[in-house]
Amino acid sequence: MTKQLIFACTLLVTIGVFTFTINRIISYFRFTKANFPIRDFGKRFGVMIEVAFGQTKIFRKPVTGFLHALVFWGFCVILIGSIEVIIDGLFGTEKVFKSFGVVYDIITASGDIFAVLVAIAIIVFLFRRILLHVHRFEGIEMKAISHIDANIALTLILLLMLSLTGMNIAYVDYQYLKGEEIAGIYPVSGWLTGLFSGVSVRGLYNWFELFWWIHILLIFIFANILPYSKHFHVFMSVPNVFLSRLEPLGKLPNMDDITKEVKLMLDPNTAFATPATDEPIERFGVKDVDDISWKNYFDSLACTECGRCTAVCPANLTGKKLSPRKIMMDVRARMKEKGPGLVKQGRDYSDQKSLLKDYISVEELWACTTCNACAKECPININHPTLILDMRRFLVMEEAFAPGMIKTVFSNIENNGAPWQYSPEDRLQWAENLRISVK
């Protein structure tokens, strides 16, 4: 009973802290734009199964991709065991799901195997991050805290897997020495029971209890660290893939209000009509985080900082300042900075800073070629170019700022009705002396 009481208090504290954190994040969404409609749920579900659960994009790098997929699949399986541990802790039961029979055997066997495989994968990841200095993990946006954050999260996952394996080994050995039935199948832990050779029945029970508490407390700590870490993608990646932009990558979004105005101007029946008294557009494009869509912010929270986007960016590869990963990290950092003020004072709050220029430079934005390599490579379907385009839209439409060559194009369109410098009357001069035979 004492154990249940302590566990219940610990669980309540965990849920309370987690709820506070999530409510704070959700409150920031209120200051983003609701201009990302969600349709085609069937297609979205298919994308989620293929990209999130199938890990198809991760496998573009076969070795590290396979190890990452093992970690993801392992978490999916071990999650069931974690739910069982929580139920057992609350109600004082033991292996509450064992009544599922063969299904339970499959779950426990899979979890036992995956615990070791995930631990091995995490050791490889830590080795690569600490000793190999992989170029993809570096960059101007990757501060020392980013590397520390990644190492802490990976270490916690490793400890989670080791404590789970230790708990399983102690349980199997304890049940065997007591002569009682072992609930589930533990192929790896059963083979490692020799690690506790010579330990008494009481000692094995104490070891089981120790590993049990270590494991569940690590789960609670990990769950509350994640929202402050790049590993928040553990929670966010699957829903982010479900919410993927479904249009072809090459299709760049337009502003609906501007499109409507242009269509009205081109329609002879409405070209000279009195404009409707619609509400004015608050802002053309994106200047700060309260101009972005809720999906842009969701993307920033889901970003794994893996650097695959930056690694394939042609602008970055040719020495330009643009890093698609930095764009996402800047959105997240800026919202973290401005969000509390927005919550307290509303949309009128200003700290005399902005996402554009204070976090993301104009040079970065105009370096983007909108080739969509970053969006194609991202393992959780973040679409960086749409946000970059929106910030460039603000520069052009509100500040009349653009590189010289683009300004020339704008001027030609205004004066000549085309991007070229020739007047409309001279456009067919190139064909004057051509002799075209018609058969």
Give me the mean pLDDT over the 205-228 stretch: 93
pLDDT value for 407: 85
Q: How far apart are CA 282 and CA 87, in angstroms?
A: 50
Q: Are 35 and 293 in contact (CB under 8 A)?
A: yes
For all residues of the chain together, what is the average pLDDT? 90
Q: How far apart are CA 27 and CA 244, in angstroms?
A: 22
Model confidence at 423, pLDDT cuts 50, 70, 90, reads confident
Render pLDDT for 39-93 as a digit per residue (tens, 0 to 9): 899 999 999 999 999 999 999 888 989 999 999 999 999 999 999 999 989 888 8
Bridge partner residues of 356 (DSSP): 360
Least confident of 192-196, 231-235, 329-333, 425-429: 425-429
39: its two tokens = 């349709």
Model confidence at 373, pLDDT cuts 50, 70, 90, reads very high
Q: How far apart are CA 334 and CA 337, in angstroms?
A: 5
Give me the mean pLDDT over the 328-345 stretch: 95
Instruction: Express as a percent the part of the chain with pLDDT over 90.
Output: 62
351: its two tokens = 């700290």
Render pLDDT for 177-208 as a digit per residue (tens, 0 to 9): 888 889 999 999 989 888 888 888 899 999 99
17 compared with 436, residue with greater pLDDT: 17
Q: Are 302 and 233 in contact (CB under 8 A)?
A: yes
Q: Are 60 and 318 in contact (CB under 8 A)?
A: no
Give me the mean pLDDT over the 122-148 stretch: 90
Model confidence at 262, pLDDT cuts 50, 70, 90, reads confident
Q: Are 294 and 32 in contact (CB under 8 A)?
A: yes
Q: Are 156 and 218 in contact (CB under 8 A)?
A: yes
